[in-house]
Structure 1
Amino acid sequence: MLPRLRLLALALVVPFALAACADAPQGMELDADAVVDGQIPAPPNVDGPPDNAETSDSGLAWIVLEPGDGETSPTPADMVRVHYTGWQTDGTMFDSSVVRGAPAEFPAGGLIPGWVEGLQLMTEGETRRFWIPAELAYGDEPAQPGAPSGLLVFDVQLIEVLSN
């Protein structure tokens, strides 16, 4: 009798487990052990770009964490689907689509200048870490209440360019 109950329990649980896997968000995988009180710990180089980072003339710095598998790069006119996490230089995470469990969709040209520039450098499937100076983000004293200030660090995965 006990083996039959185990089989019945397994038969009831497996379909739900498989359905949950099918609904998992695309892109950056969230390591549940890495989240502490709803926060993803900051990378060790959150206070500034490492020596191997590339830097544009505007001051945007980046490293490629994972190369993309696509050939499409967004333009400011495109919509994009991304996963991202943002930190301040003190290590405080201020936003994350990864923690929310759903990728975000944005107009690539309707974001802070550092994102607009950085997204155009990426291809689909790629993950980069960006160091965005205050002048390409919200500034040192943001006009928008609650906006992070100063240098910001983002891990961004370009999942898909939705229009091109």
Structure 2
Amino acid sequence: MTEITRVPLQPIAKGALTKVWLGVAAIALAAGGIAWAALPPAVDVETITPGAGDMPTRDDVALVNYKGSLPDGKVFDEGKQAIFPLSEVVPGFTKALEQMQRGGKYKVEIPSELAYGDKQMGEIPPNTDLTFEIELLDFKSRQEIEQQQRMMQQLQQMQMQGAGGAAGAVPGEMPPPGEAPAQP
């Protein structure tokens, strides 16, 4: 027969259980603080005028009216009908646009970590939070834009071919007898 060694349990000292629970609570609070500190900075997007429909994605190109300001209110940049590929702007601008709808107007606060960070950018000092007023006029996917560009190139080629004919020749007509046909 196998005998199990018995270990006598010592009584818990008065107040020790409270100390254990306080220790557990302190560890939980510390872990929560560390987790909160590790969260990435967020962009604050306030809706001024709501838009409608879908929101752009990182792979889209946006058409916007915008005005960018420094914390003291000084405008550092603005544009009308500006085109921005979302993947080619500062991360905070991309994150903000991804939360917008066509036709909407927004006020956006971008923390410096999602703007230019510790780098000087023109008249924007290092570690500067930025404020933007943005109106999302429209957006399209890169594929839609590339397709439109191809169509425009084809139209231009067709116009060039039509304009490159012989003097006095009308596109689609045969040249008078004895003359060579116009070459495209």
Q: 1:80 aligns with which of 41, 46, 62?
A: 62
- Offset at residue 147 of structure 1 (A): 5.0
CA distance in 1, matches of 2:42, 2:72: 20
Cross-structure match for 2:43: 60
Residues 1:105 and 2:83 are matched in the alignment = yes
1:148 counterpart letter in structure 2: I
Deviation per residue, 1:8-36 (Å, 9 max, x gap) = xxxxxxxxxxxxxxxxxxxxxxxxxxxxx
Percentage of matched positions with identical amino acids: 32
User: Would you say the 8 A contact 1:76–1:109 is kept in 2?
Assistant: yes
Q: Give the number of aligned pairs.
A: 102
Give the root-mean-square deviation of aligned CA atoms: 1.8
Change (3 A) 1:147 1:111: farther
* Structure 1 segments unaligned to the other structure (5+ residues): 1-55
User: For 1:23-34, what aligned pairs fall within 5 Å after superposition?
Assistant: none
- CA 1:128/1:66 → structure 2, altered by over 3 Å: closer, same or farther? same
Native 8 Å contact 1:79 1:106 kept in 2: yes
Residue matched to 2:155: none
1:116 to partner: Cα distance? 0.8
3-state DSSP of counterpart to 2:101: coil
Q: Secondary structure at the match of 1:160?
A: strand
Matched residue of 2:108: which SS?
strand
Which structure carries more relative contact order (alpha carbon 8 Å, separation 6+)?
Answer: 1
Runs of 4+ deviating beyond 3 Å? none
> Could you tell me which of 117, 121, 146 is aligned with 1:139?
117
Q: Could you tell me which of 73, 96, 104 is aligned with 1:91?
A: 73
TM-score, with length taken from structure 2 = 0.52
Richer in helix (by share): 2
Counterpart of 2:124, as a letter, is: P
